[in-house]
Amino acid sequence: MNKAFVREPEPDGRAYCPRCGTLGTPVNAGPLNTHIQVESRARMHEAAWYCGFARCEVAYFNLFESVVLVEELKTPIYPYDLAAPMCACFGLCYDDVEADVHDSSPTRIRGLLAKSQSAEASCQRLAVDGQCCMTEVQKLYMKLRTEASAE
């Protein structure tokens, strides 16, 4: 069939990483300005998508298939680097979540939850994906807890 008669899909606001195919998280200028090195920043304009797949080399991408690689970021970020903070606002990291699992009490995570709901939280600007980290922190806690109980 001639492609001239094939209807293109309507854009629905979703975008997929051009390298790994992961559904991207839309981000605005806040995280882009915070995390991308100055010499690479112009490629993303005012909005882009974040690729959160830890084994992908792409951190941000846009609809024109321009990318900013993880190595072009100012600092290491989670999940690409497990030593980097999961929470950009308050510094909670993988080791803190792991410690909560071993202590059998999520005291650090509960403290983070209280802080994340305060005026001090700046997730839209500081977080690599512009989102609050609590969902990812809770997922990691449950995953590590399940793994610990299986041992």
Hey, what are 43's tokens? 């490629």
Beta carbons of 108 and 92 less than 8 angstroms apart: yes
Sketch the domain layout of the chain as residue ranges. 13-74, 77-151
Q: What is the pTM of this model?
A: 0.86
pLDDT digits (tens, 9 = 90+) for 45-103: 999 999 999 999 999 999 888 999 999 999 999 999 999 999 999 999 999 999 999 99
The residues pairing with 60 across neighbouring beta strands, listed in sequence order, are 50, 68
**Which residues, 6+ apart, have CB-to-CB distance to 92 below 8 Å?**
85, 86, 108, 109, 112, 133, 137
Q: Output the CATH code of domain 13-74.
A: 2.20.25.270
pLDDT above 70 for 114 = yes
* Per-residue model confidence (pLDDT) at position 113: 96
Task: Give the angle 139-105-117 at the CA atoms, nearest 5°.
Answer: 60
Please provide the average confidence, as pLDDT, over all residues in the chain: 92
With contact defined as beta carbons under 8 Å apart, do 76 and 42 qualify? no
Band (pLDDT 50/70/90 cuts) for residue 36 is very high
What is the pLDDT at residue 139?
96
**Residue 25 pLDDT exceeds 60:** yes
| pLDDT for res 5 | 56
CA dist., res. 83 & res. 78, Å (int) = 7
